[in-house]
Structures are given as C-alpha cells and as structure tokens.
Amino acid sequence: MSDLSQLSITTLKGVGAALAEKLKKVGIETLQDMLFHLPLRYQDRTRIVPIAALRPGQDAVIEGSVAVTDVSMGRRRSLVVRLQDSTGSIVLRFFHFSTAQKNGFAKGTKVRCYGEVRPGASGLEIYHPEYRTEQQDTGPLEQTLTAIYPLTEGLTQQRMRLLASQTLEHLTPRNLPDWMPSALAEKYHLGPLNEAIRYLHQPPQDANLAELAEGQHWAQKRLAFEELLTHQLSLQRLREQMREQLAPQLAPSTYLVNQFLENLGFSPTNAQKRVGAEIAWDLAQSLPMLRLVQGDVGAGKTVVAAIAALQALEAGYQVALMAPTEILAEQHFINFSKWLAPLNIEVAWLAGKLKGKARAAALEQIANGTPMVVGTHALFQAEVQFKNLALAIIDEQHRFGVQQRLALRQKGVEGRLSPHQLIMTATPIPRTLAMSAYADLDTSVLDELPPGRTPVNTVVLADSKRPDIIERVRLACAEGRQAYWVCTLIEESEELTCQAAQTTFEELQLALVGLSVGLIHGRMKPAEKAQVMESFKAGELQLLVATTVIEVGVDVPNASLMVIENPERLGLAQLHQLRGRVGRGSAASHCVLLYHPPLSHIGRERLAIMRETNDGFIIAERDLELRGPGEMLGTRQTGLLQFKVADLMRDAALLPNVREAAIELMRSYPDHASPLLDRWLRYGQEYGQV
C-alpha cells in the first residue's frame, strides 16, 4: 500500500470523474484529503431517547406510536402528528406534506424519527423530522455516532460517510506516516495520528458528544496541535527566508505626501501619523518590510496605505494594492484615482472579471510601469509582470495566506529585490494570539478613530420580534435611509446559506411592498454582485438582503440600519465587522441582533458585549475570555486565520506548548518539518522554492 497522499480519490469504488469533480470543490483529491476532511459535528442516532427526557435544542432519535393526526390551520397550514411512548408525548409538525404522508400516520402506527426538539405552543415539537414508520421498516440503530461533513452541491452526508468509511479501510500507520516525533508526542501527551483520524470520522457509541462539540477531545487536540505546530514552522521559515532578501531602499517622501495631505480635506489622526512614521522608517531599509497594520473598522487605514504608497511612488517605483473582493478593490481604485490624479500619477486596474482586450491592456500598463496598480488577487497570477514593484499593500489580511504572500515576493524588482509588504486588517486580535498568528510580522496599531463618528446603537432581540423589526425597516426607508438585512452562515454549506438569503429576500419583498429590495450573496456572479452593490450605493435599492459577503469594506454612508439574523452563529469579531457597515454617515445608526432562542448563558453574554461596546479590541479580548467550554464558535466564524482543524481562539491554550515544540522540532528533528508542511499547507511545496 502506498502513501495515501499519492492515491487519488478515484481509486475508491464508485468514484468516477463526475464525483471526483465535486469532491475537488471541497478540497478532496486524494485519500489523505478525505481523511483530513473532518466532520463538523456529530449526531447521536445510536439510542432511543424517552420522550419525557427530551430537552429543547436537543437532536434525538425517538420512537413511539401515533396518538392523533390532524391538519392544523393556524398561521400556516401544517400536519400535526402527536407521537407517544410510555413516558410522554410530542408533536411532529410538517408544513409541507402529501396526502399519502398524512395517511401513513394512522392512529397506532409505530414511528421512529430524528430531529431537533423545540418548544411549541403546547409542549415540545419537532419540525420536519426524518422518520420511518413500521411499514417502511425502521431497521437497526446506528453503531457509531453519525458524522456531519462539510458539503457542496451534489454531495450528500450519506455519500461522504460512505467515502470516509471506505477510505478508513486503507488507513494504516505506514501509509499515513505520523511525523510527530515520539519524544514530542510523549512530552505533550499527543496520541497517535491514525487513531485520532479514525476516531473523528467514526466516534464510538460511548464517545463524549459534548467534548467533541467543544473541540476538547484528545483526537481533535492532537490534530490541532500538529496543525498549529506546522503553522509555526511555516512562519519561522518565512521569517528566515525574508531575512536573506533585499528590498529597494526608499527615501522618505518630501513632496508627494505633503501635496496629498494638503488636498485631503482633513488632517490625519495622531495614530495615522504614528503608524505612517513607522512604515516610512521600514521602507527606507534594505530589508523587506513585513508589517501588519491593525485598525478597527473606519480607523482610516486607506489613508495610511496611501501615505506609504507615495513614498515608493516618489522614489520612482511601482506600488500594488490588493483587496480580497472586487467590490472592495473597486472602492480603493476610486479613492486612489481621486487622490493621485492631482499629483499626475496614473492608476491601473486589474480584476478577474477584466477579460480580453481590456485585460491585455491592463497587463501591458503594469509591465510598462504604471506606478499605482489596484486590484484583486488577480494581481498574484503568474502572467502579471511588474516593471519595478517596490511595495505591495494587502487589505484585509485574513483572506490572504502565507502562500499568497510568498507568491508576491516573486514579483519584486527583476526577481532580485523583494517588495516591501504592508498588510492591513480590521480584525483585531488579542495580543496573546497575535504572537502566534503573526509571528512573521511586525505590527502597528491604529488605535484612534477619526473625530466625529456617532457610535452605532446596538439592540439584542429574540426573533419573535421579527414583525416589529420589519416595520422598523419600513420606517427607516420611508425617511430616506437605507438598510441591510444580513443572513448568517449555515455551517454545512455555502449553498444553504445562499438559499436562506434567497428565501428571506422573497419574504421581505412580500412584507415590504413598495420598497425596492435587493439581494447579494456569494453564489452570484461577480458582475451581478457588483451591479447590486452599485444600485445600493446609488440609492436605487432601499433594503439589501445579504449574506456575510458584505462584511468587508462596503461603504454606503446613507445606510443606517442593519439587522443581523442569528447573530449567535457568528464570532464577535465578524459581527463587529458587519456592524461597521453602518454608522459611516452623520445619521444615528442602529444595529439589531435578532437571535433565535434559546440562547446559552455564554451566548447571551457575548451578544451583550456587542451592545456594550463599539471597540473592536475590547470585543476581541472579551470574546477570548468567554470562550470557555460550551462555546464552539471559533476563528472560522471570525474569519481570522483559516485552519483546517485548529481554531486559534478555541485552542489558544495549546499555543505556548506549540511554540516550544516548534523550536524543539527544528533543533532535533529538522527533517520532519517538510513532510509536515507538505501535509498541512495546500501549497506546501512553495516553501522549498523560495
């Protein structure tokens, strides 16, 4: 048997080209990929729970016989089946049902079903449970916990489970080598890799579900530790390699910066001046700058970026500014064009959607040395050649990985000089984590907002208040304001999230007749998205229903109301980012967090923080403190740094050991570093090349 990282997923029975294509969308190309495609959570279908023991919010298998079946006419017509066992009874409710389905629930019929228990008007209910009746043969109960995997269109949970179990048959310690040196494994109490993987795909019946849900199981920690360790190794390497590079030394700007500030219309805050000076000093060195500027939403990072850019421009070099989305990049393009035109500096634009002649022209401009280039990550592509790039500015750091930063380096002056890198992020990160997350970067903090901002007023309400809030949207729009209605992510798939946004959009259109309502989500084509954004900016749309795609950079000063549904699903940092989309104009702004009860104690406290403060750094610190057991929300939701298994917030306690282990590994087992990097980093090979 050979290495599972070399075996294509198509070696499994039943996996043809079409299925392989779908699996590729979730990052699965090899058997090893499948093993590292871990479940998001688990369901316990191994035992039947007595009805009397059910609690709201619980997912459970129950079994009973039909006591009454009825069609209820309430607000929405529904089929109501009361199911009883020897301990009590519960209502199964179906909003969509067929006559045959209804007839299947004759009085006395035995039914086994699975679903989420929720409080109803008269006792507990389950909406649309999965079920089988005795006629359909209920079959045996599951032997292991049921894994729920991240999916994409055309894949089902059943299929993923089957693929996982087929792959596990191939798993041996030999074909999935454990690169954790045994001395380190012992010292840090890390179990064997193989066992950890096996356990996480198929946890036994007696597994501790709560522990797994919290990411506290040894198998999860084992993998998280290895992943974080690998991340540390990659940062160490990056730093070392950077120290060997040379960058163009840029003399401080004496002319352009002053011109720019004169035209700007406001004076920089003290924080902007201080950070600007730190950057100016870095740029004058022959070592490439690697600096991260952290600044809360609205702190004015763009001005800082412009000041840095002018230093390189005045020295006669090119500057590239990259943003993670087209919307954001375009906004920068507009700003920089406006700022640089009076200084007679040309600005070029490059994005993925630019095609054909326009694209060729942009590429030529860049190659010929147009001084300022703004765009999306299209700027990273190999075909983009700069004439003399001296500074790369990356906005919203968390969307750009280490690999992309490396790719940038190859775009430096004649391949000899590395460009300086300035990275800007609005995701505040607690100091305790910053060391680990950004070990390779120097950091500056913009800790002051420009004067004259009115803080956003935030309220936290249960979603039973939805009709009132819809009314509030109507009123705000009647007064000429604009509003956002944000649908949060559904863990399993982006597709479901977009569907939810679509449904909400249709519903709000019906409820708000006379308002022009728009929709934007991640599944729309970039051109469609841009068009919707344009209409919203132009005020043609009054209400914008959106997924969290609007999180970064959107700037519509007239929007003064934001409603966020199910805010409990998001990390506080992300909520903070979203909320930063309002409060940009002079009008008093409001943010409504519309949660779905019941909220856990910690959930309640977290949302209360959002109500109490508008300071991103305080929010981040409190968020970390509150992440005790019981909270599964993590970095993935904050958008901070994307790991496969690890979660910087959740696993913060591992970090001191991880750092220590990284140093030990480099000292005593340096040859283990490359295989670890290969395994954990999508483009691990690049580390060898730079």
- The answer to whether residue 268 forms part of the interface with ligand ADP (CB under 6 A) is yes
**Closest approach of Cβ 303 to ligand ADP, in Å?**
5
Peptide bond preceding 204 in cis form (omega within 30 of 0) = no
Q: Which of 64, 104, 276, 298 binds ligand ADP (CB under 6 A)?
A: 298
Alpha-carbon span 690 to 688, nearest angstrom: 6
Nearer to ligand ADP, 215 or 639 (CB): 639
* 130 secondary structure, DSSP code: E
State in angstroms the smallest separation of the CB of 519 from ligand ADP: 25
H or E element, residue 62: strand 59-72
CB of 531 to ligand ADP, least distance (A): 22
Q: What are phi and psi of 327, to 5 degrees?
A: -60, -50
Pattern 417-446, binding to ligand ADP, x per CB under 6 A? Answer: ---------x--------------------
- Estimate the crossing angle of helix 326-340 against helix 526-537, to 10 degrees: 60
Nearest approach, Cβ of residue 301 and ligand ADP (Å) = 3
Cβ proximity to ligand ADP: between 303 and 676 the closer is 303
Distance CA 232, CA 651 (A): 14
If one asks whether residue 450 binds ligand ADP (CB under 6 A), the answer comes out as: yes
Cβ nearer to ligand ADP, comparing 146 with 574: 574
Nearest CA to 392 out of 294, 329, 327, 322 is that of: 322
Chain CA centroid to CA 427, Å: 12
Give whichever of 295 and 639 is closer to ligand ADP, judged by the CB atom.
Answer: 295
548 binds ligand ADP (CB under 6 A): no
Nearest to 91 by CA among 59, 64, 53, 57: 64
**R_g over Cα of the chain:** 27
Output the smallest distance, CB 321 to ligand ADP, in A.
12
Span interacting with ligand ADP, options 137-145, 215-223, 295-303, 488-496, rule CB under 6 A: 295-303
Give the shortest CB-238-to-ligand ADP separation in angstroms. 25
Long-range CB contacts (< 8 A, 24+ apart) of 462-471? 462/594, 462/595, 462/596, 462/597, 463/565, 463/566, 463/594, 463/595, 463/596, 463/597, 464/597, 465/594, 466/594, 469/563, 469/592, 469/594, 470/508, 470/511, 470/512
CB of 555 to ligand ADP, least distance (A): 6
User: Using CB under 6 A, which of the segments 14-22, 296-304, 412-420, 659-667 binds ligand ADP?
Assistant: 296-304
CA distance 596 to 320: 43
Contact 110, 65 (CB under 8 A): yes
| Residue 266 is a binding residue for ligand ADP (CB under 6 A) | yes
- Considering the complex, what minimum distance in angstroms separates the CB of residue 606 from ligand ADP? 23
Interface with ligand ADP includes 191 (CB under 6 A)? no
Among 178-186, 268-276, 429-437, 560-568, the segment contacting ligand ADP (CB under 6 A): 268-276
Cα 498 to the center of its chain, rounded Å: 15
Q: Would you say 569 or 581 has its CB closer to ligand ADP?
A: 581
Per-residue x/- track, 299-328, ligand ADP (CB under 6 A): xxxxx-------------------------
**CA nearest to 57, candidates 135, 126, 156:** 126
Q: State the nearest-atom distance from the C-beta of 516 to ligand ADP, in Å.
A: 25
Q: C-beta of 304: minimal distance to ligand ADP in Å?
A: 8
| Residue 392 contacts ligand ADP per CB under 6 A | no
- In the block, which residue shows the tokens 């198929």? 202
Binding to ligand ADP by residue 583, rule CB under 6 A?
no
Those residues with Cβ within 8 angstroms of residue 434's Cβ, 6 or more apart along the chain or in another chain: 443
Which residue lies nearer to ligand ADP by CB, 272 or 638? 272
Applying CB under 6 A, which part among 23-31, 91-99, 114-122, 264-272 lies near ligand ADP? 264-272
**Distance between start and end Cα atoms, the chain:** 33
- Residue 190 phi/psi, 5-degree rounding, is -105, 125
DSSP letter, residue 317: -
Of 334 and 439, which has the nearer Cβ to ligand ADP? 334
Q: Does 550 interact with ligand ADP (rule: CB under 6 A)?
A: no
Task: Name the residue nearer to ligand ADP (CB basis): 258 or 685.
Answer: 258
Query: In this structure, are residues 54 and 124 in contact, taking their beta carbons and an 8 Å threshold?
Result: yes
Q: What three-state secondary structure class fits 85?
A: coil
Residue 297 is a binding residue for ligand ADP (CB under 6 A) = yes
Residue 591: strand, helix, or coil: strand
Are the C-beta atoms of residues 543 and 501 closer than 8 Å to each other? Answer: no
Type and span of the H or E element at 220:
helix 218-243
Site of interaction with ligand ADP (CB under 6 A): 266, 268-269, 272, 295, 297-303, 426, 450
